[in-house]
Structure 1
């Protein structure tokens, strides 16, 4: 900015400042002149401060260390302007629309302190002018309904979208400043969509909070933006941002000179994951009415399975092409089972057990086929016994183990999801059955007094009692009896796979069993599974599995410590390994009584003698103090905790029973 132009702007601003007080005392019909003067003054002030603050060619006496316009001046002029707008608005010197425009203009100057961009003031002003009308212009508190009409809401949302698109270069510069390099197209588009969603929150929250579809659409838009930010999918060239500045930043060679050429993997599968998540959100929020249309439900579940299967295959098993079909079929079976278990149809109860059986059968086939195919391909390419190919052999074996571990994790997640879904459905059915029994008892108690009702009221009472939902319970008893068994199989398989993963990944961690055992809480009451197992015994599998796992791993640790690959002199009577084994086995056996008593108590919850748990408690002290195996020490500590817990629970049951005597 030249000195001549600077003087012109300053003089114009001073003239406006002197004229506005005179315009303010004019009659109310001429208050628009005051508003025009204030808006012109604010625009000119924003322009001058933007030129002073963001353009580095103006310095005080040519010294570049001292900027002519410091940051605190921006803050002072901003808050002074906002205070004057507030005072004039309260005194009715200016209208609400002028106050809205002035508030946005003065507030937009603060963006200069956060983002170093020459156009950030005007972009911020545009965004504030688009976002703030639902907050500042619709203040009719006397109306309980929506203060904004539907077409106004759509218009404001469209203006917000256009303003965010208009400010895309500023968003690009902000992301570039934050990341230190040019953001990807997916990241930029994600932030634009997220900004649109967040900017529409005042519209929905203040004016359409009673409209459920508006809330669902807003959640879907925000979720889409977050998914684009996290996944950063590739954007086709036809959807570029039509910006010379962004195009110039894309063509810069700085990234290559700094970071070099980096190997890239295909990113198109991220579109499939985004599609699957958005379909799930649309179904959960009832935007897609899969609850009421069986055909749409089937199409939705198959589409979800295909999208997830192709994504997993392309992202994690790209080199094993033969597994792609099996993984896609597995995911389709899983999604069909989960969707139709949650929203059953007339024939789904007969088909779903076979779908689960196919899913279980695919697990070993996929697991074994993955390694066999890779090793066979490797053997066909090169000789396995060549010494020069040892590194390649090791790489192939590691790839096979890694792929198999990924498959185990995938199937563990699938079986966990199925077990959770069945547990949820069975709990819902039990609540419905309890509600039905309560309704029947209520109807039976009301029959004695129904004779005093008028005939019309008696008919209404009978009709209301006949509307109790009994179809689901009867259908469950007739055709859905497979659900507890399927849930138990899924739970056991998930737990077993997690144990295998624990051994493969951590070498059999002691702490892992305390996190994995609660999976067995998903077991359901099933007489075919364990006789007498019910809701009262739901904690028994957890405690008994922890005890059994620690005992087995303790025995394995003892055997591993004394066995050195052959039956050497260490196993002879009197040798050090023999003494080690005898001592630790004896200490391990000393922990059994406490665990046996506590597991029996958890199964039956019957009060036993108070002295029995306390009598077995000292047996665990030697195992804690003098053992050489960590797992035996953990068993001893658990035995002490079990004995104390059993004593306290029995005492509490005794005290609770005395209250009813």
Structure 2
């Protein structure tokens, strides 16, 4: 029994160690981890980073694409430090491209350009911090670093997001002046998300023995929150002052705008409670604090009142104020200030205890009476607002009689009818497509409905159906009126009904409907209809007709139906799903004109048939994705494949816009105002040269994508029939890509086309069975790779020779084209083999981790143990691969990696003019190398970084030697021999000195034998001297690499020493 219990205990301990080892392996990958604020910070970091990325142009996108691909490769290979370093290096390169050709360069002044560059750079920094926090090993193994990154992210996000988005608004139709007011909204939201007291999200779950205060510590310090709050909330007014500095004193409107931008943040801080919004402020005694808050609140209210008065008097509403100059200022000031007093008193619940109700009624009556008098109302109209003000306060704070509310409603309607009759009703003009009289009737009906809805909601006599019908009717009527007004402009081109009003009413409609559904005053069905109508009316910012907006409403209702009526989809059948698909497709076809206008407004040109049809497929696929997760269809592989095919097809049509079998013309599907664009073959879209195919070969890419999807997602049980089908699909996939490249990028030669088709077809088959192998694929895949190399070699041979100069140049371009195809295909093969070998050996590595944890010897000896023990793990891996008949994979993977690297070097020398910096971009390819039994017996830990480092140093030394042998560009003395020899000796010595520290690092990475500290100290000055002795760019670059290598080697050796001391 004792032995049994001991063995069970040991087994449980081994399982626990295995789970910990597996957890450490997964912690190296990028993911959400244990950090709780990923979604919150994404709102700020990703929003600003998206603006920055799209403002950098094509160069920025190219850098981000290369960096993202490299990060993915390193992340899959579980090179955690490399993936993290690549993210930051990509951001640094993106900053360089942004500084060279970003859209911020078009700023009006040098100071503005510098400020925008700093803001966009900080945006990339926040994005990198956000990515850093998603590495689980950072949060778990380095909690101090994680806490510092989290602190910096929360401190930087509010001002950076506000600055970048304000600049984005200023670059659009909002203008510099309107952008400040959009920016103040962004800054207030960012302050609420990041600068309120928030607990740290990267702290691990505390045990019972840990202090609770450690778990509940705040992210920001008081100083951080203070500085970030001040910068964030003063940013809009500073941006407004800076953008209008030249015209600031030409109009008094700018002064009122500045006052509003100052007072709105102050009112926000006090309104949300200073204990939370200003938690970093060292508070005095409570009575004194209250007095200070009240004093600041009064000042802010006075300032806001002044800005509102100025906007009313000197803005567009000033034409409706008919009193003479001195008197209208007084009347408007009295009205605004009295209204604000009533608002403050009601909002602070001071009526009854501190302020009598009669006094509030008097003040509100004064506010309404002076307002209507300022607009030129006759004497007999004055009792109307007085009676309405008294009835409203009495209804709200006393008995709530329907008579009081009726009096208030009649008063409001009477005043509104008088205003419409005085200013608009008698005009003989057309607003949009209707007469202004009809529009006045519609607006009056909206006012009556708006006054009737609160009364209907406050009484219990109306049923849920009645309330829902009233709300839906009101939203629909509001959308119709807004659609008419939003199309009308002033004489200066500004909109009568600005877009922010449409957005505000839509947001209010969604929030109000949710509140009514939660409170039980409206059913879920009507809430769904109200929310869909509120969301659909946003389309009026892009479409121009009521029918188009109605078609968008139909689409929104159809798409959102499964999400709202989820309780009815429990017994969903295949027939119901088919019916839903038919209804969805019909609704999208009905909304084709709306889709046309939305795409036209976004892109600035008419969409093509492919864009419209692709958009229809994308929306259909995205809508059906919800149904694919239903429990009735979780095992439906055919339906899932069909759904993925629809999405793939839509993405392909939208991206490549190939010619369609039909041509859109006026008829059944289109009208005269919605005729799709027809694009001819364009070099920007379909290739380097314009061929005679008119873009039709791009359909080969679609065929390749579809066959690749079916080949990769084949059933797990690999029978002979399934393997045969996968071979056919893989060959068609690769052959389609090869034929596309042959037709679009190469001169027409039937032999070249055949060999490219064969080579790419073989690559397709190889990749298909490399990712998802069959029972016998490991036997014949090496022959497939050999055939692929032979086919591309034959393609290269076909490009030799040439009788004329033009033909020889054409053949030379063909050679480089074949080399580029070889480089790309070999890289894909290398990555596939790297991924497959790593996946095959994952279980072996987990067992090795468990054994190393239980071993008393291996952790103690570490990197200094004998060579025999250091090769044990690699020999075990080689043995296991040989047992699985996969021993060829590391060898062929290394061959593919090295040959693709060589091909990329050849292409880089041709494209960049033999630039010395191209090797820094190409060297990470060698991270795909494997440890095999032929070329690289061991590539563990830091050894995998030795080949890239060696290639960088070797390439720089090679370029330096060539430059030294070429001699100086100018002869400074009489004889050439007297001038070259000293120059060559100095530069050769500089090259030797610059390479010493780099060689030491390569030796340390490859052999794990540390360099003595004295050697590092003595070689450190040697790496700094060469830039002062030599002007060769290769020598200077090698010197910089040596300095970095010296610092890195010292860091690695110190870390290894500290780890050993901790173990001892």
Aligned-partner Cα distance in 2 for 1:474–1:559: 50
Does the 8 Å contact 1:194/1:221 carry over to 2? yes
Does the 8 Å contact 1:594/1:640 carry over to 2? yes
User: How big is the shift at 1:331?
Assistant: 0.3
Equivalent in 990, 1006, 1012 of residue 587 of structure 1: 990
1:486 aligned partner: 892
Equivalent in 592, 602, 606 of residue 168 of structure 1: 592
Does 1:610 pair with 2:1021?
Answer: no
Does the 8 Å contact 1:330/1:359 carry over to 2? yes
2:662 aligned partner: 237
Aligned-partner Cα distance in 2 for 1:97–1:521: 57
SS in 2 for 1:237: coil
Question: Higher RCO, 1 or 2 (CA under 8 Å, sep at least 6)?
Answer: 1
Does the 8 Å contact 1:138/1:147 carry over to 2? no
User: How big is the shift at 1:191?
Assistant: 1.4
User: How big is the shift at 1:546?
Assistant: 1.8
After superposition, where does 1:419-458 map in structure 2 within 5 Å? 419-434=830-845
Does 1:224 pair with 2:661?
Answer: no
Aligned-partner Cα distance in 2 for 1:498–1:131: 47
Equivalent in 270, 273, 288 of residue 701 of structure 2: 273
SS in 2 for 1:234: coil
1:601 aligned partner: 1004
Aligned-partner Cα distance in 2 for 1:112–1:47: 10
- Could you report, residue by residue, the CA deviation over 1:4-63 in whole angstroms, capped at 9, with x for unpaired residues? 9779978998999999989998978x8756766665666566555545655x7xx99xx9
Quickly say closer, same or farther: Cα 1:4–1:512, change in 2 above 3 A: closer
Does the 8 Å contact 2:664/2:675 carry over to 1? no
Quickly say closer, same or farther: Cα 1:166–1:594, change in 2 above 3 A: same
Per mean C-alpha deviation after superposition, the further-off stretch among 320-329 and 113-122 is: 113-122
Quickly say closer, same or farther: Cα 1:113–1:522, change in 2 above 3 A: closer
Aligned-partner Cα distance in 1 for 2:1025–2:452: 95
Aligned-partner Cα distance in 2 for 1:225–1:360: 34
Per mean C-alpha deviation after superposition, the further-off stretch among 323-332 and 421-430 is: 421-430
Does 1:510 pair with 2:935?
Answer: no
Does the 8 Å contact 1:433/1:473 carry over to 2? no
2:621 aligned partner: 197
Quickly say closer, same or farther: Cα 1:36–1:604, change in 2 above 3 A: closer
Does the 8 Å contact 1:349/1:479 carry over to 2? yes
Does 1:104 pair with 2:532?
Answer: yes
2:768 aligned partner: 339
1:186 aligned partner: 610
- Could you report, residue by residue, the CA deviation over 1:377-427 in whole angstroms, capped at 9, with x for unpaired residues? xx4xxxx4xxxxxxxx4x555543333322222111111111112222222
**TM-score under structure 2 length normalisation:** 0.49
Does 1:619 pair with 2:1025?
Answer: no
Equivalent in 753, 756, 759 of residue 324 of structure 1: 753
User: How big is the shift at 1:478?
Assistant: 6.9
User: How big is the shift at 1:323?
Assistant: 0.7
Does the 8 Å contact 1:320/1:370 carry over to 2? no
- Could you report, residue by residue, the CA deviation over 1:510-563 in whole angstroms, capped at 9, with x for unpaired residues? 221122222222222233225x54435322222222222111110111222359
Aligned-partner Cα distance in 2 for 1:111–1:643: 60
Does the 8 Å contact 1:562/1:570 carry over to 2? no
1:551 aligned partner: 957
Aligned-partner Cα distance in 1 for 2:679–2:1040: 60
Does the 8 Å contact 2:548/2:593 carry over to 1? no
User: How big is the shift at 1:369?
Assistant: 1.5
Aligned-partner Cα distance in 2 for 1:659–1:17: 73
Aligned-partner Cα distance in 1 for 2:884–2:507: 73
Per mean C-alpha deviation after superposition, the further-off stretch among 165-174 and 610-619 is: 610-619
Aligned-partner Cα distance in 2 for 1:644–1:485: 34
After superposition, where does 1:511-660 map in structure 2 within 5 Å? 511-529=917-935, 532-535=937-940, 537-562=943-968, 571-572=976-977, 575-660=978-1063
**TM-score under structure 1 length normalisation:** 0.76
Per mean C-alpha deviation after superposition, the further-off stretch among 400-409 and 184-193 is: 400-409
2:566 aligned partner: 138
Aligned-partner Cα distance in 1 for 2:461–2:1052: 84
Quickly say closer, same or farther: Cα 1:527–1:108, change in 2 above 3 A: closer
Does the 8 Å contact 1:624/1:633 carry over to 2? yes
SS in 1 for 2:702: helix
Aligned-partner Cα distance in 1 for 2:676–2:993: 73
SS in 2 for 1:119: helix
Aligned-partner Cα distance in 1 for 2:762–2:619: 37
User: How big is the shift at 1:626?
Assistant: 1.1
User: How big is the shift at 1:117?
Assistant: 3.6
Aligned-partner Cα distance in 2 for 1:622–1:69: 68
- Could you report, residue by residue, the CA deviation over 1:60-101 in whole angstroms, capped at 9, with x for unpaired residues? 9xx998988777876787677667756765665654333433
Does the 8 Å contact 2:708/2:729 carry over to 1? no
SS in 1 for 2:734: helix
Equivalent in 566, 572, 580 of residue 156 of structure 1: 580
Quickly say closer, same or farther: Cα 1:252–1:204, change in 2 above 3 A: closer
SS in 2 for 1:539: helix
User: How big is the shift at 1:647?
Assistant: 3.7
Quickly say closer, same or farther: Cα 1:353–1:108, change in 2 above 3 A: closer
Does 1:301 pair with 2:730?
Answer: yes
Does 1:113 pair with 2:537?
Answer: no
After superposition, where does 1:274-289 map in structure 2 within 5 Å? 274-284=702-712, 286=713
Matched pairs, number: 592
Quickly say closer, same or farther: Cα 1:77–1:621, change in 2 above 3 A: closer
CA RMSD of aligned residues (A): 4.4
- Could you report, residue by residue, the CA deviation over 1:445-481 in whole angstroms, capped at 9, with x for unpaired residues? xxxxxxxxxxxxxxxxxxxxxxxxx9x9767437432
Aligned-partner Cα distance in 2 for 1:351–1:613: 51
SS in 1 for 2:566: coil
Per mean C-alpha deviation after superposition, the further-off stretch among 288-297 and 108-117 is: 288-297
Does the 8 Å contact 1:148/1:207 carry over to 2? no
User: How big is the shift at 1:108?
Assistant: 3.0
Unaligned runs of 5+ in 1: 256-261, 385-392, 442-469
Aligned-partner Cα distance in 1 for 2:665–2:641: 28
- Could you report, residue by residue, the CA deviation over 1:157-185 in whole angstroms, capped at 9, with x for unpaired residues? 43222211110111112223333332111
Aligned-partner Cα distance in 2 for 1:357–1:369: 19
User: How big is the shift at 1:368?
Assistant: 3.2
Does the 8 Å contact 1:412/1:498 carry over to 2? yes
Aligned-partner Cα distance in 2 for 1:619–1:172: 66
